[in-house]
Amino acid sequence: MIKRFFVRRLSNFVVRLFALALFTFSPLFVGSASAEMAIENNKILLGQDYSVFPNDTGSPALCRKKCAGDRRCQAWTYVRPYRSEGVGECRLKRDVATGFKNGCCISGVKKKDYRALNDDLGPKKGRLHNQAVDRCDKWADRAIQLNEQNVKNRCGYRGRGWHANGKRHFRRCMRMSSKERKSERIGQKNAINSCIEELSYGKRSQCEHYANMAVLQNSSRAKSGCGPIETGRWGKDYKKHYSWCLRAEKGAPVKAQKIRSKQLQQCFAYEGQKSGPCHEYAEAAIAHFRKNIAKGCDLHGPRWHNNYRRHVGWCRKVSPRQRFKENKKRKVTLKTCRLFGKIGIQWR
């Protein structure tokens, strides 16, 4: 009787101990909960959401904890509150989605552990099997990098070789022969290179047109006598315009060209504006220049010319007090010339 009692107690203890060990070391509870994360600030992962819930803690720690505790979750994104009194949001993802830089969010991705998939690939085969695992580990990483280039350059490639799921790439690699892997990788590299070449050719053509237009616009500016409006956009160096266009963001060259056109229109419009204080200043400056020539004073420099547009352009940039001082200085210089004869100085 006593012996049966102890045997029963011992068997219950063993069953409880086994259940506790099963609960503790089950991948559903600990294998995922202890998963390592690669966290990136100012990045959002779009798509692959299977769970979205509010996060009022003001920290992405809750999103990370929820993802780590769920083996379905491969990645997560924490969306910051729109306003200080708002509530954030957690988005758990069943797969690693495409990422973009954005200050709205913080994202995390479970670090890849492809070796954990070996149990699904049949019994281990010793050293050769371990070499295949190492090879496919690198294969999967490179496949993800090629897909990132595909997304970044908007090549539009799709299919079983074009995605961001490292586990799928790894499993597929382990089933492929060496010849199949080599053939597919060469095809992917050639596809990316072709896409980049097409994009580069299109951009080169656009930048050639942009540089030609920039040089022509600068020539028109110089002939109009408006002077340099903004040195960053104006210049006669074709190569500088072309190289800037190649480095510029999408839409920036078109915007720069429109700004130049608008400034040229404003410059050309001066000719029709024959009224106002700047018109009076320009007429007076031209009259002074003609007196300088008639008297033989030999006064020359940036303010001694008969270019109406240049006088108006300078006038529009300065205060009324500066216009008055400039006019007065010109009158005094001419009076000195009448009293003492030819001066022959350059007035800057």
C-alpha separations of 98 from 3, 108, 142, 173, 226 in Å? 65, 12, 16, 22, 49
Residue 5 lies in a domain: yes
3-state secondary structure the chain: CHHHHHHHHHHHHHHHHHHHHHHHHCHHHHHCCCCCEEEEEEEEEECCEEEEEEECCCCCHHHHHHHHCCCCCCEEEEECCCCCCCCEEEEEECCCCEEEEEEEEEEEEECCCHHHHHHHHCCCCCHHHHHHHHHHHHHHHHHHHHHHHHHHCCCCCCCCCCCCCHHHHHHHHHHCCHHHHHHHHHHHHHHHHHHHHHHHHHHHHHHHHHHHHHHHHHHHHHHHCCCCCCCCCCCCCHHHHHHHHHHCCCCHHHHHHHHHHHHHHHHHHHHHCCCCHHHHHHHHHHHHHHHHHHHCCCCEECCECCCHHHHHHHHHHCCHHHHHHHHHHHHHHHHHHHHHCCCCCECC
Residue 58 phi/psi, 5° resolution?
A: 75, 15
Residue 226 lies in a domain: yes
Where does a domain end: 68, 91, 111?
Answer: 111
86 and 125, same domain (yes or no): no
121 and 164, same domain (yes or no): yes
91 and 150, same domain (yes or no): no
292 and 333, same domain (yes or no): yes
Residue 195 lies in a domain: no
Residue 183 lies in a domain: no
Residue 240 lies in a domain: yes
What percent of the chain is modeled with pLDDT above 90? 7
C-alpha separations of 90 from 49, 98, 103, 114, 169 in Å? 10, 17, 15, 26, 27
**Res 107: pLDDT:** 92
Structural domain that includes position 145? 116-176
Residue 231 lies in a domain: yes
Q: How far apart are CA 85 and CA 79, in angstroms?
A: 14
Q: How far apart are CA 266 and CA 264, in angstroms?
A: 5
**Res 100: pLDDT:** 82
Q: How far apart are CA 348 and CA 346, in angstroms?
A: 6
**Res 1: pLDDT:** 52
Domain of residue 76, CATH code: 3.50.4.10
46 and 107, same domain (yes or no): yes
46 and 103, same domain (yes or no): yes
104 and 38, same domain (yes or no): yes
Task: Count up the domains in the chain and report the number.
Answer: 5
Where does a domain end: 85, 111, 137?
Answer: 111
Residue 56 lies in a domain: yes
279 and 311, same domain (yes or no): yes
Residues in the chain where the model's pLDDT stays below 70: 1-35, 84-85, 112-126, 198-202, 222-232, 266-276, 340-348
243 and 266, same domain (yes or no): yes
Prediction pTM value: 0.37
Residue 298 lies in a domain: yes
Where does a domain end: 86, 111, 136?
Answer: 111
264 and 292, same domain (yes or no): no
166 and 207, same domain (yes or no): no
